[in-house]
Structure 1
Amino acid sequence: MPLKLTVIGTGYLGATHAAAMAELGFEVLGLDIDESKVATLARGRVPMYEPGLEDLLARHVAGLEGSTGRLRFTTSWEEVADFGDVHFVCVNTPQKQGEYGCDMSYVDSAVGLLAPHLRRPALVVGKSTVPVGSAARLAGMLRELAPAGEDVELAWNPEFLREGFAVQDTLHPDRIVVGVASDHAESLLREVYGGPIAEGTPFIVADYPTAELVKTAANAFLATKISFINAMAEVCEAAGGDVAVLAEAIGHDDRIGRKFLRAGIGFGGGCLPKDIRAFMARAGELGADQALTFLREVDSVNMRRRTHMVEWAREALGGSFLGRRIAVLGAAFKPDSDDVRDSPALNVAGQIHLQGGQVTVYDPKGMENARRLFPTLGYAPSALEAVRGADVVLHLTEWREFRELDPARLAEVAGQRHILDGRNALDAQLWRKAGWTFQAMGRPNA
């Protein structure tokens, strides 16, 4: 009999994983405690923006015309337990309020609510990013609470999704990592991921702690690389160098590589910032805090870039934001996403607003989420309207739409032709040719 899969938690990770598993040919049942979210997904709609996800979902949701019918959603824990052979836990692990540590309450709750209904053999697979040591604790919880006892196993299978590329990353991952405690669990996961494995995706088998550490280590490395090039941007500004040329030169070294070497206002989102902080907190609990002290500076450099952008904008306006109009292009923390969690762009916009600036924001996909988080900011329906009457324009999220703007058209409506490129993604020559004073982080002004 083919395996039946369930996905617990249908947010960004869970909805993508559920749709992708259906695409790989499995019958899938998704669970969420939010009835409105379940209703939305059951109509083939997703409550977030992720390229290709809604089309993939609609191709498989039961009851929709032309769908395979392999994907359904429910709010019933008992139905999920009865249905599934393999249960993927995809709930959120946010940063604790007022602390660096990871809030495990959603994961603990999911396992605690599922386990009492597991009356037959099953594999529970954690995909959430958790502090090392969590899997062993949760495996014990399952054995204690599940009626099937030792026949319910746990595995850890970290996700490596990039927002904007989540569908591709799930269907054609660059690696699959599984932390298992038995050959049986490994065998089941090889069956689940048979499609990608057949395509040549590496399948890496590890113990629980190593699998847990892979995700946090990967995020810590990427965060370090981003903060490194931003630290170099600070040095370039002080020395009169060009960080873009520097990045190109060192990126040709195969040991370094060119990815994640674009200097700017830093990283944000729901993963990197909270994950590196949780990693530091867990290392402290394990008595290994000295091993990760460098991450404090990584975090510090990253947050300093936002303050630097605010100061840079103030200088461009002659030393004060009071009574001045500022256009902010970008609200999402990265392009091809509507995610505004810990968005550097919105953080900068909010700081300027608090200091008296009249801020108007435009983002192709993140406007609704931005309004909910920062309701006191101004919002425009287009980049042109955001720029209208502005004394300075800040480019803070590197959407393709912004790279393709016509500087001459914007120059006609701007109050002053002054743009600050906080992402080093715009064509300086094109903007200067249209009469703009163009500045980019870590680069000469001329």
Structure 2
Amino acid sequence: MIRRGFTLVELLVALAIGGILSVLVYGLFDTTSDSLFEVENLSDANERMRFAMDQVRNDIQMAGAHASPDSEFDLWALPGALTTYRVMGITTFSGAQNRRDQLPTAPQDIEAANPDVSFDDFVVMGAYDYPISFEVAGLRAGADGLIRNNLRGLKRLYTVNPFGENLTAPDVTNPATVFGSMMDRRLLRVTDRQGKVQFAAVTGVSNAGAIGMNVTTDTDFIYKAGGQEFGLDVSFDGDVAYESAFIDIFRYHVEADPLDPSNMRLMRTRLCGETALTAFDTPSAVNLAAVEGLEDDCGDGTVQEVVIADRVADFQVWFDCADPNTGAIEGSEFFSNWVDAVNEESPGIGGACMDVSGTYRPGRARRAHIRLSMYAPQERKDLRHYRFEDADGNIGDDARDNGARLATFDPFPDIDGAAPVVTLQTSVEMTNHAYRNSRL
């Protein structure tokens, strides 16, 4: 007898097999979806971090190339005639490294759980934020310099304030209208015919009509006198000009977002040029409060800063210093400075030449090491070995179960627990010594 169809048992078995296959297929889709989501999540954090790292790298690398590694010892730099300004490519200050005071909650728990996590401060003297060099004419004692408009795009650049919040069209007819609000934060670098550079702080600008603008500095430059070979030629002829550039002083630091205190942001803040130079003439006397005061010490009531990165979990910068006699890198080999291999600790200072309490010679810095860690946009909550903090400051698995955010982590990427935090480490050769062929 020929049987048609299925028995009940066969049907149930077929349905069971089909169900198992469906579960497996959908499970694979779900796992793949979660994996792709996490990859995208970490990739996004990595892209944002690379953008921030490029900004830090560029400013560090060019610091000193456009200004001076350390004008106190730089044979290619001349101090101002009436001041003892010390222009340094990179500088630190007392209490600048291994800071944790910015953390808004439970800093003692975070410090105990992760002694290697901290935030560093440093100051770049010599950033080249204004992208054009130009000529300044009419330089002589007691007179303003003249910046002409004949260079394409120059007038447009100095009549538009990149930090301005006014939505109306800028006044492009009078440079002093808009540009004056930024000028008192900048330095003017002038190069003489022997290639030596001088610096002065800009204190004002005024309209010179259709030909350009006048720029006033806080001190006179050094002019040739008594047969000396260096200095500027005293010029009464407007056609005699010197190659010049505007130099900015930036502070890199980490602070909490005022609208979201749990979000730590890497900031780049422009300091007031004249007062910053005066203060940093003695870096050991500069503390955190003094540096914060320089952010708005020009009297215009504004702080000019940009957010380089948000969701920052760790930011550290330290330097390799050169032997003063040979110029060779001092200390241990290249990668050993990432971490103390015995104690697994971050460096205590930014290199001997950056220690303001010791032998402070920033011009000897040859290589900068940078480590930046950022939280991924979507933190993983399913891994129990991570530490979490709740709204009351409690840390542990119970806090995680209550939906708390990630509070601590290990900054070293080969340690279990580092997955939701992306860490990027890099080194950059500083160009100051190479450009100037100087050991300092």
Q: Normalization by structure 2: what TM-score?
A: 0.23
Write 1 or 2 for the structure with the bigger share of helix. Answer: 1
Write 1 or 2 for the structure with the bigger share of strand. Answer: 2
Q: Normalization by structure 1: what TM-score?
A: 0.23
Instruction: Tell which structure's C-alpha radius of gyration is larger.
Output: 2
Q: Which has the higher contact order (CA 8 A, sep 6+)?
A: 2
